Amino acid sequence: MGTVAPEPTSVDDAPPADPDRRPPGRTPRLRGLHGPLLAFLVTSGAFCAAWAARGAYPFGSTGRAVNDQANQYVPFHRALWDLAHGQAAGDLLFTWRGGFGQQFLSDYSTYLGNPFSWLVVLVPRAHVDLAVFALTPLTLGTAAALMTAYLGRLQPGPWWQRAVLGSCYGLCGWALSDASYIPMWLWGLVALPLLGIAVEWCVEERRWPAAALLVALAWYGNFYTAMMATMAAGILLAVRLATLDLTRAHRLRAAGRAASAAATGVLLTLPFLLPSFLSSGAAQPTRAASFDPVRIDVLLAGMLPATHLWGGRPRLYVASLGLILAGSFVLNTAVARRTRLVWTAALLLVLASFQFPPTQYAWHGLAVPNGNPYREAFVFSGLLVIVAWLSLAHRPRPLHLALAAALLVTAAFALRRTDDFGGWTWPAVLGGGALSLLALVLLGLGERRRYLVPVAAVLMVGVVFAESTAAAANADARRARERWAKPAATSGPSIGAHFAAVRAVDGWPAYRTDSGAPQTSYNDALALRAEGPQYYSSYLPEATYRALEPLGYGYKNDGRTFFGADNPVLDAIFAIGARVRPGTAPGTWTGQRFPAPPLVTVRSAPHTSPNPADSVFARQEQVLGATVYAVPPVTRTATPAGAAYTARCTPGTEAFWYSPALTGTLTAPAPDRPLAGPATGVLPLGPVPATGRVDVTVRTRGAAAAPHPLGCLDRAALTRAVTALTATGATTTTTTGHSVEAAFPATATGTAVIATTAVPGWHCDHPLRPFHGLLAVALPQGTTRIACTFTPRGLTPGLAGAALAALLLTTTATTPHLRRRRGRTGPD
């Protein structure tokens, strides 16, 4: 490890002299940053220019948050802000906000792993959303800068030319169309050149500890796309070993160093990786469709600049400059034949692997992607940029460039009728292609006429900037036409008023506050610092779904998203003592406080509801431990628009409706309310009139209502039940991070029920006793205190694996230093 091997030689012909190189004594130390800095500025600048052109916040009034950016990423980053500023109800391992208490470590690893995410803690909480949006240009620019540095390790060449192609990579189609609103995925774009640099160090047989750390950094940022980038790094290693003049022993050593660096780097992230893997296995299952490859014309159309193929289709393009150079690579005889053949074969094999189920599953960790199956497309774009650079560094001939440009135009003409052929594709192909060709020809002429080089440089930078800006704006515009992708506002007066209303009635942990119906996201509990059931995560446990779904909470996404329910019985079960509702004026919110049992209550004996066992109202009563509903028989009458339901209840009680199979509109009692199937949850209908008759009219074409859709609540009985639970429950409750403690009077006995779902990871100082899916422990007579702690499954072995990797890394890094020190001082 202490000997530095000579740098391997290439089978390529000697590259042309680099005009930007100077003798070592005259080269400024910071000169090597010029290329990465230019790439960063061009890439982030082009994306921000497209952002401004669309008039998106803060450059205009149009919302920026798309789909999960509004529903997950902004709320989770607000939770990170709370955590960093000591205002979170929980810690890195567990949060009491959302889903009535859920693990947080896996969510952190998956949604907040991008190291730039920590920048959000530097801004006021009200502007966290803007900081989240800024993560995209920052990460894109970083990826372009690192690709610029990596290209220089593959082949020497002028820094500004590498920067232009680094920008082509940072502004590839996958980044602009798929990942621009997913900050954690974008880290995969950074991971690919990071791992490429690590591969070069392994081939050069130096800096093994640094290579392992680069792997760890890649996997820390986002293990999902880092896994794809790691597979791509394996391809880069294979190509380099095949194209360099190395001995067999050298190749074996390089492969061994790369494998051990990858294993060590992944082990360093095991405290995040293993809990996330186990949380995924315990999550509520979803219905993932089988992989269905797109037609070959659609696949090829995805390689055309400024296209935007939506609906599970590949985005493979880079700017026309990169495509023309990549096309000229095969024809460029200045590059050694073996190099051209190996790189071309690698490109074609990677492209072909996107179309076959076994290799697609391999790219995605042997899982069927729940969404776009071409999430690894950035790997192909990275390879395109690499071969484009190898061609440019060896000065392609004008004829070869013209042939590549002609091929690009021909492909665009042949694929012009492909679905979603972009409106900006022809300008990019014809205008961007022509200017790119002109710039490359001028660059070639600049070897004899040096004054043409600056002209070519400005033209190359300008065409990549302009074409990528148009492509990014086009992707945003076309995505916004999708119903589910309408940009949402994530800040404003109404959201600020909502947050203030929640804070005004906060009482945690004495009671929970429910933020009410979602305003901007499915994670409003996290975003607004409430403690209700609202929660949306890929890691929502199956145990939580099985506990909440039978009680009448609305859900969607196959049960990985839960909503609130304005129902006083559920409030009593889950210790909700305050609720926020919309005010009378638009954009206003009001909070209401009401009596609630403590977070930890005691059940001395099981309760059997007299109501029909298959009704949601009976299930609520069993968990509450008291009878508070009357569930009457319901008469259904078909109407031209749907159906009418009639029942009789005691006047003065409160009617509630629950029928998750129905979709449509509940038109009576007024006002009209949408029925969105399982997402609706229990609905309040209001007081039962003096006649005792309850009429419900539903406009729907769906199935019939549930057998017992109506329940009438006796408020006096509920008040007695709440009083009893409060009198016999915990006298004090303390929550600290990922633990909960409760104190009881000495007379308490039975089962202590904690108002959180019994998700995997809880450990208590008394035996666990399941209670309708809630966390509960045995409470023997005389017990005055219980304590429970949540530890994510896999955390302990993950820490052990990371410690072992850190020990190996430290030993490897310090041993050569100690040997050199002994060599200077001599033997003892």
H helix or E strand, kind and range, residue 512: strand 512-514
Q: Tell me: pLDDT of 28 over 80.
A: no
pLDDT of 18: 42
Instruction: Beginning with the edge strand found earlier in the chain, give each strand of the sheet holding 555-556 in spatial order.
Output: 535-536, 561-562, 555-556
pLDDT of 57: 86
575 within 8 A of 599, measured Cβ to Cβ: yes
Rg, the chain, Cα only = 31
Name the percent of the chain lying above pLDDT 70: 94
Helix-strand-coil percent breakdown of the chain, rounded to 5?
50, 15, 35
Please provide the size of the chain in residues: 828
Give the separation between CA 204 and CA 4, rounded to whole angstroms: 8
Q: What residue type is assigned to position 641 of the chain?
A: A
Give DSSP secondary structure letters for 219-235. Answer: HHH-HHHHHHHHHHHHH
pLDDT of 816: 63
311 pLDDT band (50/70/90 cuts)? low
pLDDT tens digit sequence for 789-818: 999 999 999 999 999 999 999 998 887 654
Mean pLDDT (whole number) for 660-686: 92
Give the separation between CA 512 and CA 733, rounded to whole angstroms: 12
Q: Tell me: pLDDT of 661 over 80.
A: yes
pLDDT of 13: 41
Q: Tell me: pLDDT of 444 over 70.
A: yes
The model carries a pTM of 0.93
Q: What is the residue whose two structure tokens read 């302990």?
A: 796
514 within 8 A of 571, measured Cβ to Cβ: yes
Give the separation between CA 795 and CA 763, rounded to whole angstroms: 14
* Cross-strand partners of 786: 742
96 within 8 A of 735, measured Cβ to Cβ: yes
480 pLDDT band (50/70/90 cuts)? confident
In this structure, how many other beta carbons lie within 10 angstroms of the beta carbon of residue 417? Answer: 9
The torsion defined by the Cα of 159, 232, 303 and 294, in degrees rounded to 10, comes to -170
* Cross-strand partners of 514: 579
Give the separation between CA 124 and CA 114, rounded to whole angstroms: 20
pLDDT of 4: 36
Give the separation between CA 28 and CA 26, rounded to whole angstroms: 6
Give DSSP secondary structure letters for 324-369. Answer: HHHHHHTT-TTS-HHHHHHHHHHHHHHHHHTTSHHHHHHHTTSS--
pLDDT of 16: 40
pLDDT tens digit sequence for 740-791: 999 999 889 999 999 999 999 999 999 999 899 999 999 998 899 999 999 9
pLDDT tens digit sequence for 576-593: 999 999 999 999 999 999
2 pLDDT band (50/70/90 cuts)? very low
Q: How far apart are the first and last CA of the chain?
A: 23
pLDDT tens digit sequence for 356-372: 999 999 999 888 777 78
Q: Tell me: pLDDT of 158 over 70.
A: yes
pLDDT of 27: 55
Kindly state the tokens that stand for 820. 């050199």
pLDDT of 240: 97
Q: Tell me: pLDDT of 14 over 50.
A: no
pLDDT tens digit sequence for 368-414: 777 788 999 999 999 999 999 999 999 999 999 999 999 999 999 99
543 within 8 A of 758, measured Cβ to Cβ: yes
Q: Tell me: pLDDT of 60 over 90.
A: no
251 pLDDT band (50/70/90 cuts)? very high
pLDDT of 264: 97
Do β-strands 785-790 and 102-103 pair in parallel, antiparallel, or remain unpaired? unpaired
**Interaxial angle between packed helices 795-825 and 248-268, expressed in degrees from 0 to 180 and rounded to the nearest 10:** 130
Q: Tell me: pLDDT of 819 over 70.
A: no
pLDDT of 679: 93
Q: Tell me: pLDDT of 260 over 60.
A: yes
pLDDT tens digit sequence for 693-707: 999 999 987 677 889
Give the separation between CA 738 and CA 449, rounded to whole angstroms: 69
Q: What is the mean pLDDT of the chain?
A: 92
Give the separation between CA 293 and CA 289, rounded to whole angstroms: 12
Give the separation between CA 42 and CA 215, rounded to whole angstroms: 27
Mean pLDDT (whole number) for 17-31: 49
pLDDT of 300: 93
Give the separation between CA 666 and CA 242, rounded to whole angstroms: 68
pLDDT of 375: 92
170 within 8 A of 45, measured Cβ to Cβ: no
